[in-house]
Chains A and B, each alone.
Chain A
Amino acid sequence: MTIHDKTFESKFAVVGRSVKRSDTLEKVTGTACYAGDVALPGMLHGKTKRSTVAHAIIKRIDVSKALALKGVKAVLTHENVPRVLHYGSPHPRSASVTRDQYILDNRVRYWGEGVAAVAAISEEIAEEALDLIEVEYEPLPAVFTIEDAMRDGAPVIHDNGLPQNQVLPPVIVERGDVEKGFADADFVIEGEYELGRPTPAYMEPNICVAQWDGNGKLTFWSSTQTAFMVRGALAEVLGIPLNKVRVLVDHMGGGFGAKQDLFQHEFLCALLARETNRPVRMEFTRKETFLGGRTRHPGRIWLKQGFRKDGTITAREAKVLFNSGAYGSHGPGVTNVGTAALTSLYRCENVRLEGRCIYTNAPIAGAFRGYGVVQTYYALDLQMDEAAEKLGFDPAEFKLKNAVREGDIAPSNHPIVGHGLEDCIRRGMEETGWPAVRRHGRDTGVKRRGWGIGCEMHGSSAYPGIKEQGNAIVKMNEDGTVTLLTGTAGLGTGAHTALSQIVAEELGVPFETISVVQGDTDVVPWDIGAFASHTTYMGGRAAQIAAADVRRQVLAHAAPQLGATPEELTIRDGVIVVEGSNRSMTLAEAVAPQRGMPAIQLVGVGTYTPTKSYSFAAHFVEVEVDTETGEIRVLQVIPVHEIGKVIHPIAAQGQIEGGIQQGIGHTLSEDYVIDHQTGRSLNAGFVDYKMPLSMDMPPIRTIILETAPDPGGPYGAKGVGEDPIIAIGPAIANAVYDAIGVRFRRYPITPEHVLAALRTKKQEVA
């Protein structure tokens, strides 16, 4: 069930309605085309050979036996691929990402890294060939933890000139005077928070298909969130111009941020196809999707805050330490965004924050929904809960008292628009009957219940880390129908539907008359990609601008036909009317070619370079802890989100519900584990990497507020993609405290942790 508050009267015809999503008929009938569904005549199958050591020099690699196997068409190693240092995620070559990867190197830096690739006439033969490749490694000392990697004498994983295996120089954020702040405090609290290693675990394994034509042009199907970035990386590394690479993405089976990166196989696939002169398809197995994929940054956060007796925060100091794994990927961006986030959410004038990101020989951490903020707000929100108790406040009241307000300076250095967070907390308190629902550890039975609250705010767009841009082209055809060309990817969020709604609204035409062209870098305007909760906010605004341009052209064309000025005209439901008169004509009539005349060209272009807006949420959660098994069950979630104008309510709810599912997993069960002796992954599969499924998911009663629309977004819309995964974690941990009186300063909180803590608690009491 969902409650959708209408705080202002709907003056919209299409926006704000849950129209039938334009992409779902294909999905429910099985006709949607994903990259893995592409089959081309003569297509070969590529496979990657992966390292069985975590850190080593490749002394010798012998592919002769593999090449001799019948059906094998090509084998690539570091000896015969171009050696070009490239970005792991080529966001306009920004400082958010590192340039530290080769297609194949003569050195491996993590267990499971690709060391060779084979193309063969079948997947089975390709796999057989992998076993025939002989690799001799000269092992190097390997480090898997931040401590070991920072220690004197630790192996240098990338020679980037920075000490202690740092991916980037420390991120330092200072505001006010933190010494003075602590001196003014009546009460100081500090704690250390340990972060596990969840992975995005999207359902569609990484996949690409490469085909070259006779003119040296590469057509490339890929499951990516950033088609233009893939195009750029392929062109740069392969040394070909951009117009010789065409990247196609129709549907994709989830990405959650991670599919902004390149995963070696894109280059290998293109090279194998070039070498064999045949199309090549490379699909990861599920195991490879874990091994060669990306995780959320694990690590540790030390956090200290000072408070006055009245609950005011006087100072905040933090040290954020992230484990980047073997490559940098989004490490700089994640460290910057996660660290800077601690300037806000709960107001504090005096902050000193330090963020570091460290190379190790662990799996690669990258971009993942919540981008550093999941980690830092987990620590912050847990500590606020604890401080509230110590100071004698109710946690929701305490968070409300300290909540970021309108006009406060956000992490991006922008003033906050609206009272989003306060509204969310108040509304959730009303809805739950807070504080009466709280248990304060009162339950004494085997199963004990508790309620918790967790809060978050998150920016739409990656500004100021990256200056982003969305572009759209809107064309009106001579029958009055509309074609929208957008560069933004269809991750499955319903973004293209939202964009169509925005175009329909702006033009005053029915939603059904809009069709979308997307996912083809040869055709659609450049787009930075789908991430950072900006698709509707940025891509939608670009579409709106393009539609407004077409609208102007149409009205100028129709005005003489209606004997009016363009200013006197409005378009409603596909009909152009002269306001205050009974004169009207349909759009189709207005733009139809006159006898013997060509059609008029109606094309609008929209470009939008956003700064930043913030969305807010407070999640209220009830849990039940089984004190015998240690199992924590989430019984219900009431997420309250403020996301500006909602374009498609059902799609927005879907984002919230799905984010909560992933967040429950992070907090209670998901942890991708490696052996600290060898670096070998221990749970690279769905049985051992435990995610919440249908039986685990609680009822979710979503409440969406539209109280703080952002002037930058289309009709005031803001992002929602990442927000839900941030607030749920601390809400659960705080609810567990309410149930059993134990504060876990870590995630995941597994049954083993619960049982161990209950034992310790019992001993303390005894």
Chain B
Amino acid sequence: MSQIVSMTINGEERELALEPYRSLLDTLRNEGGLTGTKKGCDVGDCGACTIIMNGKPVNSCLVLAVEAAGAMIETIEGLQLAPDKPHPLQEAFMRYGSAQCGFCTPGIIMMAKALLDENPNPTEDEVRFGIAGNICRCTGYTKIIEAILATAADLQRAKSA
């Protein structure tokens, strides 16, 4: 029996009809039509499904959609500041070549956003620790870490300017 659950996704209030056993990940991808969030394992091991829920990064495959009733959800699709204006993290990931196959990318960018929201000026070790639960099999992480650190520095500069 499906039930109606409402949540705010990327600033838009949504009412979604879903089965009670549905994960938030499947709900976002299927009922929500937001396929930017990826499924790499479905059991909480890879971070590809990372989204921000009520300000905190979570593996959306481990959250039941019904548990997200009333929650504020941010996904990769909501990150762009305007249609032609990517978020600074997205800009940096492009500039530094941080996305190869791109399958881990939405999850890592969301994790990085949560990280920078909480700690705007992280050290390299803090960045490495922050994305420790996100598997990337293509890049060796070098360019991902460069991009996150560069974004932090840019945001700091912008703030002090």
Contact = CB atoms under 8 A, between A and B. Distances in A.
A20 B145 CA distance: 18
Given A254-B101, A695-B132, A685 B140 contact: no
A18 interface: yes
Contact of B76 (A30, A204, A695): A30
A27 interface: yes
A58 to B, nearest CB: 29
A27 B38 contact: no
B46 interface: yes
Contact of B41 (A286, A659, A697): A286
Given A204-B38, A204-B101, A687 B142 contact: no
B35 A30 contact: yes
A29 B97 contact: no
Interface string A517-559: 0000000000000000000000000000000000000000000
A493 B30 contact: no
Interface string A1-43: 0000000000000000010110111111111111011010000
A93 to B, nearest CB: 29
Nearest to A660: B140
Interface string A312-351: 0000000000000000000000000000000000000000
Interface residues of A, number: 57
A657 B139 contact: yes
B145 A694 contact: yes
Interface centre among A493, A650, A658, A662, by most chain B C-beta atoms within 10 angstroms, is A658
B102 A253 contact: yes
Contacts of B70: none
A286 B61 CA distance: 13
B69 interface: no
Interface string B8-24: 00000000000101000
Contacts, number: 178
Contact of B99 (A28, A283, A691, A694): A28
B11 to A, nearest CB: 15
Contacts of B128: 694-695, 697
B52 interface: no
A34 B103 contact: yes
A436 interface: no
A216 B83 CA distance: 40
Interface in B73-115: 75-77, 79-80, 86, 89-90, 93-97, 99-106, 109
Contact of B138 (A205, A251, A254, A685): A254
B126 to A, nearest CB: 11
A21 B94 contact: yes
Contacts of B4: none
A402 to B, nearest CB: 29
Interface in A211-245: none
Given A18-B97, A203-B101, A493-B100, A700 B36 contact: no
A557 to B, nearest CB: 35
A197 B94 CA distance: 34
A286 B43 contact: yes
A651 interface: yes
Interface string A250-261: 011110100000
A29 B139 contact: no
B101 A20 contact: no
A472 interface: no
A361 to B, nearest CB: 26
A760 interface: no
Given A29-B90, A39-B30, A658-B140, A252 B100 contact: no
A753 B40 CA distance: 31
A669 interface: no
Contacts of B142: 653, 657, 697, 699-700
Contact of B103 (A25, A204, A691): A204
Contacts of A37: 29, 35
Contacts of A21: 94, 97
A662 B138 CA distance: 8
Interface string A636-664: 00000000000000110110011111100
Contact of B141 (A286, A659, A661): A661
Given A24-B93, A28-B94, A694-B132, A686 B41 contact: yes
B137 A658 contact: yes
Contacts of A39: 30, 35
B76 A29 contact: yes
Interface string B114-148: 00000000000001110110111111111111000
A124 interface: yes
A207 to B, nearest CB: 10
B101 to A, nearest CB: 3
Nearest to A32: B102
Interface string A124-145: 1000000000000000000000
Contacts of B143: 650, 653-654, 657
A27 B29 CA distance: 16
B67 interface: no
Given A204-B38, A685-B43, A685-B45, A27 B99 contact: yes
A765 interface: no
Given A24-B102, A28-B86, A492 B93 contact: no
A49 to B, nearest CB: 19
Nearest to A688: B45
B27 interface: no
B140 A700 contact: yes
A454 interface: no
Nearest to B36: A30
B60 interface: no
Contacts of A254: 100-101, 103, 137-138
Contact of A691 (B48, B94, B102, B135): B135
Contacts of A492: 99-103, 138
Contact of B40 (A25, A26, A29, A203): A203
Given A28-B90, A654-B138, A494 B45 contact: no
Nearest to B133: A693
B100 A494 contact: yes
A72 interface: no
Given A24-B93, A36-B39, A654-B138, 16 more contacts: A25-B86, A27-B102, A28-B105, A29-B80, A31-B36, A34-B35, A204-B38, A254-B103, A492-B100, A493-B100, A650-B97, A658-B100, A660-B140, A661-B137, A661-B140, A685-B41
10 contacts: A27-B105, A28-B89, A28-B102, A31-B36, A203-B48, A492-B99, A494-B100, A694-B134, A694-B145, A695-B128
6 tightest CB-CB pairs across the interface, nearest first? A30-B36, A492-B101, A253-B103, A27-B102, A657-B140, A30-B76
Interface of A: 18, 20-21, 23-34, 36-37, 39, 124, 200-205, 251-254, 256, 283, 285-286, 491-494, 650-651, 653-654, 657-662, 685-687, 691, 693-695, 697, 699-700
